[in-house]
Amino acid sequence: MKKIVKNTTVVALSGVMAIGMLSGCGSKSIDGEKTVATVDGTDIPMGVVSLYARESQAQTVAMYKSFMGSAGNIWSQVVDEDAGTTYGEQAVGQFLGQVELMYIMKEKAADYGVEVTSDDETAIADAAAQFMQDNDEDTMKELAVSEDQVKTLLELETYRQRIYDPIRNEAEVNITDEEAQQSSFSYVSISISGDDLTDDDIATRKEQAQEILDKMKEDPTADMGETAKAVDDTYSGLTGTIFTNDSDDEDISNSYDDAVVEALRTLKDGEVYDELVETDTNVYVLRMDKVNDEDATASKKESLENTKRSNYYSETTQQWLDDAEITVNDKVLATLTITDDHSFTIKDTTADTSEDAGTDTAADTSEAADSEDSEAADSSEDTTAADDTEETDAAESTDSTDETAADESADSETASTDSADTAEETTEEN
């Protein structure tokens, strides 16, 4: 018998949404009571999708501003040249799909020992009532959501977050230490490709790379970064890791050029490769630091296991969607538009929840949906090209490719609405 998952926390909805409509822009009239989709016989009201989409929209913009300083015109960007589909139009369908999945998760929750208790329902009702109280009339008209629909969304998101780990834990994952073993190395990478480089430029760079190599061969323990800068202050030393051994597992692959990997695998701890390694784009000076880097290996093993569990979660939930009987009322869905000219923001203030519901919502319930974003970094970690240009290398060792998650998250569960323990103060941006 599966253990019942009774978290003492529920998803807390951001209390107030502030609407900002630029002049001349707005949304089509939304009827929150109309059915926008049906999942296995259960009708989904437009109000639930509208609220989820607007919180998702606001949080996506906040994420872009946090990572990039500005959201720009993200929603108007064309993502399908042939169809002329914008990111905003695509996002509407994605957000609906996430709501559809949550309805399916609710139905499957008991199979995973997941439930929402009467105490949870009380906390959800209190949060929904507070949300209705804190938002002004104009905001509620734009959201087209009723109090019952707010409660529905909170309940769905609570199920989603509680079922996340149980699904992932079903995955059979067996990564051996030998498969995960990491070799750490230091290197200098100098670009020898690009329209801005002449043949003389390339020749000069290769000569400089050889000079760095010669100095490192004289003293293999020298700081590679300082040695490189002594030749040209635009060069820098970098560090990275590779898989020590080959594997048939498609997730266990190196992001560096084969020539770099092959050269490194001939070295022992502290040895400098005797020659420059040249690829189509770069020339490398290489030193093996640790053939068996235990810390890097442990980290990589955990990353690989997370990747496989995340893949299992994605495959499982996608299969649920594929197997479900879903119909969409496109006419109703078309009333929901996401554009740069029709913006929503969430302003944070502190809000208390009941002790039974738990004030640790962010710690206990954000992990599930937010993990889906962070795991995207793990799945991309070993597929990032490491030798595109010298500037790319300077910003990107294989240990730092988790940064790519910021861009990818907008296409997955960027819009997790569990950022909570927040209430808001409504403002209008004109």
CA 225 vs CA 129, 201, 212, 220, 398: distances in Å:
59, 21, 10, 12, 17
pLDDT attached to residue 347: 64
Residue with tokens 């208790």: 117
d(CA 142, CA 429): 14
Helices (H), 277-350: 294-323, 330-333
pLDDT attached to residue 314: 97
Q: In what order do the strands lie in the sheet with 35-39?
A: 42-45, 35-39, 326-328
Average confidence score pLDDT of the chain: 80
Residues of the chain whose pLDDT is less than 70?
1-28, 347-430
The DSSP code for 385 is: -
Q: Are strands 78-80 and 85-86 parallel, antiparallel or unpaired?
A: antiparallel
Give the tens place of pLDDT for each residue, 364-417.
333 444 444 444 434 334 433 344 433 344 333 333 333 333 333 434 443 343
pLDDT attached to residue 167: 98
pLDDT attached to residue 28: 57
Helices (H), 135-253: 137-143, 147-169, 177-180, 199-218, 224-231
The partner residues of 326 in beta bridges, in order of sequence, read: 39
Name the E strands within 347-400.
349-350
pLDDT attached to residue 345: 79
314 in the Ramachandran plot: left (φ > 0), alpha (ψ -120 to 50) or beta? alpha
Give the tens place of pLDDT for each residue, 242-264.
999 999 888 899 999 999 999 99
pLDDT attached to residue 118: 93
d(CA 312, CA 322): 15
The partner residues of 346 in beta bridges, in order of sequence, read: 17
pLDDT attached to residue 348: 56
